[in-house]
Structure 1
Amino acid sequence: MSARQGSTARWAACIAAGLLLALLPLAAGASVVDKLTGLFILMLLAAMWGLMAGQAGLVSVGQQAFFGLGAYVALRLVDGGLPAYPALLAGALGAVGVAWVLSVFLLRLKDGEFAIATWVVAEVIRILVMLDPLVQGETGTSLIALNAVEPVLRRNIGYWFALGALAAMLLAVWWLLRSPVGTATRALGDDDEAAAALGVRVMPTRRAIYLLGAFGCALAGVAWLASAITFLPRTNFGVQWSVLMLFMVLVGGLRSMAGPLVGALLLFGLQEIVGHLGAWYLAGLGGVAAACALWLPQGLVGLWQQRQARTATERPSLPSPPTPRRTTP
């Protein structure tokens, strides 16, 4: 099979899988739909953090700011009279507007300074949101407008919203990484000073990645709100979201598109199997992440790619047939 045929087959498989997933709520039960909605949200968060940290070298521990901001802006828009579902998308776009303002200051920082600053900014935003009378502090609030929607339809729409957001953002990341911006992004992730010396526009490239990552996390936040309905600042702005992003990307693989998705699947499986163990479950996640950081820095996908490359190198090549000798009469 040629490379072009293989690419066509992969696209066909992705489209078929997407159609099957889109039709799944028509046949599956409520529990399956809810669990898959949560999985799509985890995958979306992992893909965005993988883009930022794995490709551009922007290690953020404050992406929960946009997860919560998207939901908060949506709540504010609904309170102002906008219908609920358009408000969800508008809320994600509003979070991107805040991210653009923050990028002016945050992207001037590097490495640990950037990571700490993103966490501090996320905490400041959480506190400011809690001061809004609509949110009622730690009590939180609910997207009451969604209660008017029939429960099964509401659950299915939340599922389709999360699936559509995941598909759209994965396609955007795939396209971006194959564009000149993607080449510049990888150069910045390897060595930003060397990339700048070669003519890479550092700040615009970083801002594009930062805004795309913020938009994806905000979409995940509004998808969570559409599914849970309730909005609790300590939950929606909780640092646990960034911790889960780091775990999924670190375990799955930092430098590939598939790595974060594999990490999300692994985390989802662990939640379903041992999530009821509470503190032991969290300790197990920490142990797995530490083990991967020490002995498997490329993640599971990186390990599989290395083995595939080693197998291809060690595979013996077939001897070429002998060239027939020409004889003269």
Structure 2
Amino acid sequence: MSAVPYAEIALPEVTVQRQTRSGRIAMTLAVLALLALAAMPWWASTGTIRSVLILCCYIAVAQMWNLLAGYAGLVSVGQHAFMGASGYALFVLAQTYGINPFMAVFLSLLVPAVLAVPMYLLLHRLDGPYFAIGTWVLAEVFRLIASNLPLVNSGAGMSLRVMKDYSLFERNVAMSLLCTMMLIVTLGGSYWLLRSRFGLALIAMRDNPIAAASQGVNVAKLRFLVYVASAVGCGLAGAIYFMAQLRITPGSAFDPMWTNIVIFIVMIGGIGSIEGVLIGSLIYFIADRWFGEYGATYFVVLGLMTLLVALYARSGIWGLASKRWDAPWFPIRRKLLDPNR
């Protein structure tokens, strides 16, 4: 009996599904939301625009932390260092050197990108809680440097007085467009990354770094790239946020409260998912607006909520919903369809 040549073997057609009906609906709603966000100066008040800007910053920073901790396995409690560094870079470029403040937003991103490289080289040998403590220590070092650096007016802080050269409408238009761009870069960029071949490597690294490395994934390089990307994303959010505030001080620029916020958002919403970041951000934003006036009691309640979720629902709200309904908003899985069905 002669063997059948390999070229003559009929292989079954394989269909891989990467998009779902829920994903298409969510993508349509996301595009409409971005268009509405960009058009805010024509339908929303200045107060509404500022509130939406803060919400967008929550989403952006939380997604960068989610990408870092949920996929790269690097739990950082010092990402506010990059927010403050980028914010100060914006103020120096615009106020001290006279560069257009809206152009300075993009130039300021060079600072967190450059700073992230030596920081990671210093911290990458640490693991688990030691890595987290190291990031917090470096963030405190940044705060102390800013408090004693004459270039940034030391502890007195800086004001972005050049913004008075632009009308309120022009500032609102710029802020709306910057928020739209920030969400496209952070959320859209993360979604694109997770659907690419690098996303497969990230998911494999998240599930088991040792097994991923044995299959050819360069875990060290991938973690480094994710750390730098997360730093730039946080820097973008910091530059936009402090431009809207018109003032920056060492205490506000390097406020560890940002870390508390993003940890709450990601833990409540669901770590390792874009949907969880959106849900957690909305929950925190609404809770902060309604109950923020209660001060310490409010933070205790948020802390207890985070603890309960960590103990009894580690996958967060989105994780619980996904177990009951298979309707992802941002599908990243590859599903093999049966050709005989």
| Residue 220 (structure 1) aligned to one of 237, 257, 266 | 237
Encode CA deviations 1:84-116: one digit per residue, 9 max, x unaligned: 111111112221111122222222322111111
1:45 aligned partner: 61
Q: Distance in 2 between matches of 1:229 and 1:303?
A: 40
1:157 alignment partner in structure 2: 174
TM-superposition CA deviations, 1:37-94 (whole Å, max 9, x none) = 1100001011111111111111000000001011111222221232211111111222
**Equivalent-residue separation in structure 1 for 2:232 and 2:76 (angstroms):** 14
Mapped partners of 1:260, 1:192: distance in 2: 23
In the alignment, structure 2 segments of 5+ residues that lack a partner are: 1-16, 327-341
- Report which stretch shifted further, 132-141 or 292-301: 132-141
Which amino acid in the other structure matches residue 286 of structure 2?
A: G
SS in 2 for 1:134: helix
- Indicate the structure with greater helix content: 1
TM-score w.r.t. length of structure 2: 0.86
Report the 3-state secondary structure (helix = DSSP H, G, I; strand = E; otherwise coil) of the residue aligned with 1:255.
Answer: coil
- Tell me the distance in 2 between the aligned counterparts of 1:184 and 1:108: 21
- Residues 251 and 147 of structure 1, relative CA distance in 2, 3 Å threshold: same
Question: Which letter does structure 2 place at the counterpart of 1:39?
Answer: L
Q: How does 1:3-18 map to 2 (within 5 A)?
A: 6=21, 7-18=23-34
The answer (yes or no) to whether the contact 1:47–1:260 under 8 Å persists in 2 is: yes
Residue 12 of structure 1, CA deviation: 2.7
Q: Secondary structure at the match of 1:241?
A: helix
* 1:70 counterpart (71, 78, 86): 86
The answer to which of 183-192 and 26-35 deviates more is: 183-192
Specify every segment of 5 or more residues in structure 1 that has no aligned partner in the other structure, as ranges. 310-329
**CA drift at 1:8:** 4.2
> Bigger shift: 236-245 or 191-200?
191-200
Structure 1 counterpart of 2:283: 266
C-alpha distance after superposition, 1:107-165 (max 9, x if no partner): 23221111111111111111112221133333211122112211232133223212221
Q: CA RMSD in A?
A: 1.8
Q: How many residues align?
A: 309
**Paired letter, 2:182:** A
What is the CA-CA distance between 1:295 and the residue it aligns to?
A: 1.4
CA deviations on 1:293-316 (whole Å, 9 max, x unpaired) are 11111100001001225xxxxxxx
Aligned equivalents of 1:178 and 1:96: distance in 2?
24
Corresponding residue SS for 2:32: helix
Aligned to 2:146, what secondary structure does the other structure show? Answer: helix
Distance (Å, rounded) in 2 between the aligned partners of 1:147 and 1:281: 36
What displacement does 1:21 show? 2.1
Amino acid at match of 1:28: A
State the partner residue of 1:243: 260
1:170 corresponds to: 187
1:296–1:9 distance in 2 versus 1, CA, 3 Å? closer
Partner of residue 111 from structure 2, selected from 88, 94, 108: 94
2 CA distance for matches of 1:298 and 1:5?
22
Distance change (3 Å), C-alpha of 1:239 and 1:148: same
The whole-number CA distance in structure 2 between the counterparts of 1:69 and 1:286 is 28
Percent of counterpart pairs with the same letter?
A: 32
1:34 and 1:159 in contact (8 A); partners too: no
Residue 288 of structure 1, CA deviation: 1.1
